Each structure stands twice: as structure tokens, then as C-alpha cells.
Amino acid sequence: MDIIIRESYDEMSVYAAAVIANFVKSKPNCVLGLATGSTPIGTYKELIRMHKEEGLDFSQVKTFNLDEYLGIGIDLSTPYEKDQSYARFMYEELFKHINIKEENIHIPDGKTKEPEKFCKWYEDEIKKAGGIDLQLLGIGGDGHWAFNEPGSSLGSRTRVQALTKQTLDDNYESFYKKAGIKREDMPHFAITMGIGTILEARNILMIANGKKKAGVVAKCLEGPVTSQITASAIQLHSGGITVVLDKDAASELKNLDHYIHVEKMKRSMGMLI
Ligand code: PGA
């Protein structure tokens, strides 16, 4: 596991984008797993910059998003802040700025009338695409990956999940409040890839920033593997893992000095970008 600590949110974002860009350059038809939330916005900004200024090419890239609220879907006829679907987020924060093909984008359909059938289809589509090469992830305040709330099995697959009070509070503060949407009108359920689905990605890239995430990041990376902190499943992953943190999010790690030392050593040996 490579744990990379950067001074600021911007530096964290630039590093994470460089990891993604390396995948895209070395395998132009790679399959990316993508995430929503406030954390990846800077990473997507940097990818857009690389596309516009350096010609980073997404024309053959396929993407699968982690999750979507149940009951809502993209509606381009309403202003962005009123449309809280994750499909709209991805369109505004990344897809409309790069040369990805619409048919290569996959996001769970929050409007599906048959969620169970849809979830199975989504899993099948990931398999048909050859599996996910690199999965980008944030971490929720309650330790979740995607919407795998505490108590989700570490073998779980794509399915419908009820959101915790903490997730509703966090997402209300970050997104819904400024849109003038009442907390009680937020969707309380979501379709989410499972932890078992995520662990099948060949590589994992997790990002986190801010003091608010320091405690949960320490539990995820250094605590026991537990379904109470579903992101702790990172410790079970068998492929390449990169965790990029800003210094605030890293501030409660017990072995911080060790991670900084390892990063320096690996960099001096040309093992890191
Ligand atoms: P955030 O959410 O990026 O808005 O903090 C992260 C997550 O819930 O995974």
C-alpha cells in the first residue's frame, strides 16, 4: 500500500490525477471506477486541465461510477444545484469537459423501477468490460466506501442501501443545503457497488482531505478490518493500492513518520510517480 501525504488539498488532487492519467496513458482503453462527493472535485479539475492542455485522451476510456441516489436522475433542464443526481455531478465536474464517449459512461440508474434487476445488470456490465482497472474512492465520515454504510458485508455486491444519519447530514451540508433543498426531501436510499465489487478492481486509489476525515482515515488504514468501517476493506485488497491524503487527513495516523519515510525511499528508487 502506497500512502502518499501532501501539504494541501490541491497537491493531493494533482497527485491523484497523475495516478489516473498514468493509467489512461499506459492503457488508453482502460476501465476507470469513479467516485462523487466533494473530495474528487479537485482531481477531476486537474484531469480536465491535462485533457485541455496536454491532450490526455479519454476517447477509449470506459467508466463505472460507484453509486447513485435512488429515485433521482440527471435532468439537464434544471440548474445544476437543483439536480443533485450523481449523474449530473459527473457530467458537470468531468464528463462534459473531456472527450469521453457517452456510450462508455456507466452510472447506476437512480430512476430504475427494478433496482434488483438493474444491480445485477450493472455487475454484469462491469464483468463484460473486463473488470475495473483503477477504482477511485473517497471515504465517508462514517467510514463508508461508496454508500456501503456501517454493517455492510465486506463481500457485498451492487444493491440498494439505506443511508445513515451521518451520511445524510454530511451530504446535506456539502450539497443539498446550498441548493435550498430541505433535508427531509433528500433521498434516503441509494444504489451502490458493494465492497466485494470494489475489491475486485485491480487497483485502488483512495483520497481524503481535511481534519474532519483524520479519525476515520486512521481507523480505515490502521484499525481492525470491520464492516463498521467498510473502507477498512482496503486492507484486504490484493492489487495495487495508492492512498493520497492531505496533511490534515493524515494527522491522526499512528505510523505517519513511517509512511513518510517509505514514500521517500520508494521515490528515491524510482518506484513512485
Ligand atoms: P466527500 O464524501 O468527498 O463529500 O467527503 C466522501 C464519501 O462519502 O465517500
Pocket test for ligand 1, best of 9, 12, 38, 212 (most atoms within 8 A of CB): 38
> Looking at residue 192, what DSSP letter applies?
E
Backbone phi and psi for residue 84, each to the nearest 5 degrees, phi listed first: -90, 15
CATH of the domain spanning 2-159+192-268: 3.40.50.1360
pLDDT given for residue 273 in this prediction? 87
Average pLDDT over residues 267-273: 93
Q: Is 38 in the pocket of ligand 1 (CB under 6 A)?
A: yes
Mean pLDDT for the chain overall: 97
Q: What tens digit of pLDDT does each residue of 166-179 get?
A: 999 999 999 999 88
Residue nearest to atom 7 of ligand 1 (CA): 140
Average pLDDT over residues 178-188: 92
For residues 59 and 187, what is the distance between their CA atoms, to the nearest angstrom? 33
Map 168-183 to HEC letters. HHHHHHHHHHHHCCCH
Domain borders along the chain are 2-159+192-268
Average pLDDT over residues 29-45: 98
* 89: pLDDT strictly greater than 90: yes
Q: Which of 109, 144, 237, 248 is catalytic?
A: 144
Helices (DSSP H) in the chain: which residue ranges? 9-26, 41-54, 86-93, 115-128, 165-171, 195-199, 214-222, 256-268
Confidence tier at 159 by pLDDT (50, 70, 90): very high
pTM of the entire structure?
0.97
| 122 CA → ligand 1 middle, Å | 22
Q: What is the CA radius of gyration of the chain?
A: 18
| 145 CA → ligand 1 middle, Å | 9
Q: What tens digit of pLDDT does each residue of 39-58 get?
A: 999 999 999 999 999 999 99
Confidence tier at 203 by pLDDT (50, 70, 90): very high
Q: Which of 68, 83, 109, 149 is catalytic?
A: 149
Average pLDDT over residues 221-241: 97
